[in-house]
């Protein structure tokens, strides 16, 4: 691959990742070929950095307007929800409803495809919002908030390609099945970007804590998903992002 072709592939991957993880209309004009989304998964942390930056800018603007930290944190969180279309939150809610409300594998998958939200999903969504809001609101100063948001959104998505590669799709016709298995190169780059974000924001010690926390969450969710539905779905990936993001924000609240 020559330099021009490599640059074109790089830009294509970033556009695919951003268009998947946010509402920005930057996706490729031509239909995405089979395997391109899986290859582009290395750029999920890049999309996350953009989401975190937006939240940080909104918090900074609120602070300049002398809005107190608690409502400023709500505004920052709301901005990230709007920017992503709450897709990860929806995945968390659907996963909680399916795992908590279904008795058989087939019924769990059926519930997860239902757009309506149940009690388990509402509780999971509410707890996620409360945890993230309280963590952001507890931080001291716009710089700490900006660091926490960028790191949590960037590194929180870094584990997704590895999870997609290690945990098989639960359905033959679902989003995860259509996307395919990310190549090892994409997995390695995503993990490296996550580690870089953690070191830059939390330092080496904080990076170790963050890596361990996200790894434990991913391993537990992988085991639970295999037992509940036989693998992972797009909803489970959304749940993983939410859990990792919340954990990293809590770590930021403790460290920063």
- Give the range among 23-27, 99-103, 104-108, 244-248 with minimum mean pLDDT: 23-27
- Indicate whether 17 belongs to any domain: no
Which ranges in 65-104 belong to alpha helices (H)? 69-84, 87-101
Within 10 angstroms of residue 201's Cβ, the number of other Cβ atoms is 26
- Indicate whether 188 belongs to any domain: yes
- Indicate whether 219 belongs to any domain: yes
Average pLDDT, the chain: 92
- Indicate whether 28 belongs to any domain: no
- Indicate whether 122 belongs to any domain: yes
- Indicate whether 16 belongs to any domain: no
- Indicate whether 94 belongs to any domain: yes
- The pTM for the full model equals 0.92
Within 10 angstroms of residue 208's Cβ, the number of other Cβ atoms is 14
Write out the DSSP string of 156-189: HTTTHHHHHHHS-BS-SSSHHHHH-PPPHHHHHH
Cα 184–190–193 angle (5° rounding)? 140
Cα–Cα distance, 246 to 125 (Å, whole number): 12
- Indicate whether 118 belongs to any domain: yes
Predicted confidence (pLDDT) per residue in 158-168, tens digit = 999 999 999 99
Note down the domain range covering 173: 45-255
Work out how many domains the chain is built from and give that number. Answer: 1
Predicted confidence (pLDDT) per residue in 16-34, tens digit = 999 989 998 886 655 566 6
Cα–Cα distance, 33 to 185 (Å, whole number): 18
Predicted confidence (pLDDT) per residue in 184-220, tens digit = 999 999 999 999 999 999 999 999 999 999 999 999 9
């Amino acid at each position: 691959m020559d330099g021009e072709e490599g640059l074109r592939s790089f830009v294509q991957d970033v556009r695919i990742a951003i268009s998947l993880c946010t509402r920005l209309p930057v996706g490729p004009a031509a239909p995405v070929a089979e395997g391109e989304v899986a290859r582009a998964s290395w750029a999920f942390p890049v999309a996350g950095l953009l989401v975190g930056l937006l939240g940080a800018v909104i918090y900074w603007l609120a602070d300049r307007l002398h809005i107190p930290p608690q409502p400023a944190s709500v505004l920052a969180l709301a901005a990230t929800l709007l920017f992503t279309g709450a897709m990860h939150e929806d995945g968390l809610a659907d996963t909680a409803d399916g795992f908590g409300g279904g008795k058989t594998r087939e019924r769990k998958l059926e519930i997860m495809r239902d757009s309506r939200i149940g009690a388990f999903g509402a509780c999971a969504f509410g707890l996620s919002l409360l945890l993230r809001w309280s963590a952001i609101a507890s931080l001291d100063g716009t710089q700490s908030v900006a660091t926490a948001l960028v790191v949590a959104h960037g590194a929180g998505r870094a584990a997704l390609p590895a999870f997609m590669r290690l945990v098989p799709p639960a359905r033959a016709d679902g989003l995860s099945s259509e996307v395919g298995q990310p190549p090892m190169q994409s997995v390695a780059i995503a993990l490296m970007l996550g580690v870089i974000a953690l070191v830059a924001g939390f330092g080496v010690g904080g990076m170790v804590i963050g890596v361990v926390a996200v790894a434990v969450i991913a391993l537990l969710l992988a085991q639970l998903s295999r037992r509940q539905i036989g693998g992972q779905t797009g909803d489970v990936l959304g749940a993983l992002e939410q859990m990792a993001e919340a954990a990293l924000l809590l770590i930021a609240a403790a460290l920063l």
